[in-house]
Amino acid sequence: MQNSSSSRVLPWRSAIFWLLFAGPAFFLFYGNANQYAASLPSDQVGNIVFAWERDAIPFWPWSIVPYWSIDLMFGFSLLLCANKDEVRTQALRLMLATLLSSICFVLWPLRFGWDRPAVDGLFGAMFAALGQIDQPFNQAPSLHISLLLIIWLRFAAFLRHPLARAILHLWCFLIGISVLTTWQHHFIDIPTGFALGLLVCYLLPMPPLSWQLSAQWRAQLSAMQQVRARQLALRYALAGVSMAAFALLLQGWAWLLAWPAVAMLIVAAAYGGLGPVALQKYAGVSSLAVRWLTAPYQLGAALSRMYFLRQVPPAVEVAEGVWLGSMSAARDPQFVAVLDLCAEIPRQAHPTAVYHNLPLLDLLPPNAEEIAQGVAAIESLRAQTAGPLLVHCALGFSRSATIIAAWLVQTGRASDIAAAIAQISQLRAVRLRAGEIHWAVEGVGR
């Protein structure tokens, strides 16, 4: 790992290089979209505003200061990156957010619904300068909010001191509300801008998504797994497309269906070929974008867990300190080591546990390479610790049971996979079929 102080100094040339692209790209995309909307007849430019906004949202002239400050933070967010890869990703995030927002502004031109009061002095001059480059168009999604999210994340990754982070969060909050209190945006622009920012962060993750890992994952699938993965991808894709279609047809509040639609399509992409990396879980931490974008899916999964685990113990000991259980058992401090097999859920293990994460997709039997990694992880964790080791997935019925069954066979604690499944089934109502995982366990070899 690079020294933190030197890594923060090294990429400044790269940051300036990318700023020479990101800055002009903003004015090119955003400015042209703004001029296009301004050139349209008034009857072709509407607005989306709730009836309560005019009376409920105050006009605060001073809030033009935090509103303008994002321009400085735009450039500094590139200078705060730790390496050239981060600089490139940050610049691409800023440019992609600007491009996607500008496309929305052209396709759905909107205007702010009323005029601002007259403002004098310094604040008045700042509003006048804003009006020179940003007429009251380019509304939803708020590019200000999209860029704020992207910039906020980069500053938060750089700053470590609690006071500095507190000041950052307060200032970014002021920037966020300033889009309303400067009477530059309507309320609907805020969540749509936040959603677009999340989408951009998902498409351009930090660390960058390794497409090579996706290719390796696809290559390791058996013919049976490929069929199963395609079936699951199709189901989630159909659900996502159906929800998106209803949102487009019904509109209004039905646009909320776009959220679960995006969640379903992300899961479909995982099964459709991207593999576990599509869920962006690194060392037990799921990316902010995935946590937000897949929240409806996570809610459904949580309700499912509550139903299926209502009469099931959190964990059972299978052999010699190796326990099989659900994600809820990982919070138990009795487990000194935890092997987490969930790709879709952030780390649940208590902070003191020796922790290892091997992200596996739900509902899909692990392949031979994944089983080999899982067995090796169990042996490694056993060697590092002397207490109980928990192997868990979401429910403790399939992924974790498969890895433990393979471990029993590979270490001679069971004669074959059928015997291993029978041994585990006496302790927990697992959902394993010997035929589905026999090939994978045999592929690992003794």
Q: What are phi and psi of 406, to 5 degrees?
A: -65, -40
Q: How far apart are CA 244 and CA 259, in angstroms?
A: 9
* Active site positions, annotated: 393
Residue owning tokens 């989306």: 48
Token digits of residue 15? 């940051």
Give the other-Cβ count within 10 Å of 349's Cβ: 24
Residue 319: in which H helix or E strand, if any?
strand 315-319
Contact residues for 95 (Cβ-Cβ < 8 A; gap 6+): 21, 22, 25, 26
Give the other-Cβ count within 10 Å of 415's Cβ: 10
Residue 394's DSSP bridge partners are none
Q: How far apart are CA 406 and CA 414, in angstroms?
A: 9
Q: How far apart are CA 171 and CA 315, in angstroms?
A: 45
Residue 316's DSSP bridge partners are 324
DSSP label of 248: H
Give the other-Cβ count within 10 Å of 193's Cβ: 27
